[in-house]
Amino acid sequence: MGDQQNQPLFTAKAHVFQIDPETKKAWLPVGQQSLNVSFYHDVSRNAYRIISMDGSKVAINSTLSSSMSFAKTSQKFGQWADPRAGTVYGLGFANEGDLNKFMEKFNEMKELAARDQQQPQQQQQPQQQQQPQQQQQQLSKNGSADSEFRVFEELKKENEELKKSLLESKNNARLWDGELQTLRNNNARLTAALQESSVNLDQWRKQLEAYKDECTTLRAKLSEQERSRGESDKIQRQLSEVKEKLREVEATAQQKQEELIRVTKKYEEARQAESKYERLNSTLQLAEEDGKKLRAQVSELQQQLSQTTRPSNKQQLEKLQQQLSAKINEIYEMNDRLADLLLPTS
């Protein structure tokens, strides 16, 4: 019988959570992985329990009562409040089917717990009615005063015990009302927290979409920059080639400039030589004209000399001959200068 009592009535695999006792909004995970959550029947106390163990640590120890209810908050998550433990348990399942099975078993066990709680009260009333009848029969049989006194004392004790039980039941009813109100308040806070988390979830989804769009844009910009960098490298190589060609052209231009300077210098020297040549040529022409005139004068004087033998004419002829010789020498010198000018220069 003991082995049968320790056997679970139903077991499910789920991640276990407890509500944060300070904020009453956030969920605190119990354990790092999913745990076995089982229903047990405690025969000694005639109670139904939900128990889950994380190794040697108790994750859930909740006694079911008729006032408890299991709420399905999403497709894979459900929760219930335990007023006696002063907390709210949450279970996260792998799929919706496991969640529905657990919720059906929870309601079934809750009904069994409510039925077992009602049976002792129903059995107590016939016993209370039978006890006075048995005591009266016993008094009639014995007929002694001592037995009547003892029966009276027993009845008095039982009456006191019944009063205490009634008072305890009233106190328990008040306690249950308080726990029910606490449960309602917790449920309202959890509902508000759930709505707030839903709103936050929508905002997070929108932010995620915005981040995805931004990431796509950044990736496109990065690809464009990589392509631009490849093109810039190509342009850089072309620019280096152009610079190299430009240096070659500048060197060639420098050489041409130096050659142009030399040619210009030679051209100026040639122009100056040409100018000197023209001046000398003009002088030579003038000298030739003077020579022609002198020859004409010499011829004329010779003719006159042949006609006369006077000494004055002879002196005049000698003077003209000297002048003619000087002009001829001058012509020869000018001719030498022209020859020097006409020689090619290096």
For the cut 60, the answer to whether the pLDDT of residue 144 exceeds it is no
CB 45 within 8 A of CB 61: no
What is the predicted pLDDT for the residue at 52?
Answer: 94
For the cut 90, the answer to whether the pLDDT of residue 238 exceeds it is no
Q: What angle (nearest 5°) sits at the alpha carbon of residue 213, between those of residues 209 and 218?
A: 145
What is the predicted pLDDT for the residue at 136?
Answer: 52
Query: What does the alpha-carbon distance between residue 21 and residue 306 come to, in Å, rounded to a whole number?
Result: 165
Average pLDDT over residues 271-292: 79
What is the predicted pLDDT for the residue at 308?
Answer: 57
Query: What does the alpha-carbon distance between residue 80 and residue 68 come to, in Å, rounded to a whole number?
Result: 7
For the cut 50, the answer to whether the pLDDT of residue 333 exceeds it is yes
The answer, as to whether pTM is greater than 0.85, is no
What is the predicted pLDDT for the residue at 40?
Answer: 94
From residue 294, give the alpha-carbon distance in Å to each of 141, 261, 287.
210, 48, 10
CB 52 within 8 A of CB 36: yes
- Extended beta strands in the chain, E state: 10-19, 27-42, 47-54, 57-63, 71-72, 77-82, 87-92
Query: What does the alpha-carbon distance between residue 22 and residue 60 come to, in Å, rounded to a whole number?
Result: 19
pLDDT class for 318, splitting at 50, 70, 90? Answer: confident
Based on DSSP, count helices (H) and strands (E) in the chain, helices before strands.
4, 7
What is the predicted pLDDT for the residue at 42?
Answer: 86
Share of the chain above pLDDT 70, in %: 78
Which is more confident, 336 or 38?
38
Run of H or E residues at 336: helix 311-342
For the cut 60, the answer to whether the pLDDT of residue 311 exceeds it is no
Residue 339 token pair? 């020859």
Helix axes 311-342, 145-307, angle to 10 degrees: 160
Query: What does the alpha-carbon distance between residue 108 and residue 262 come to, in Å, rounded to a whole number?
Result: 119
Which is more confident, 301 or 211?
211
**Phi-psi label, residue 228: left if phi above 0, alpha if psi -120 to 50, beta otherwise:** alpha
CB 294 within 8 A of CB 323: yes
For the cut 50, the answer to whether the pLDDT of residue 290 exceeds it is yes
CB 113 within 8 A of CB 66: yes
Among 14-28, 94-108, 146-160, 294-308, whose mean pLDDT is lowest? 146-160
Residue 16 token pair? 């276990």
Residue 308 CA neighbour count, 13 Å, CB half:
11
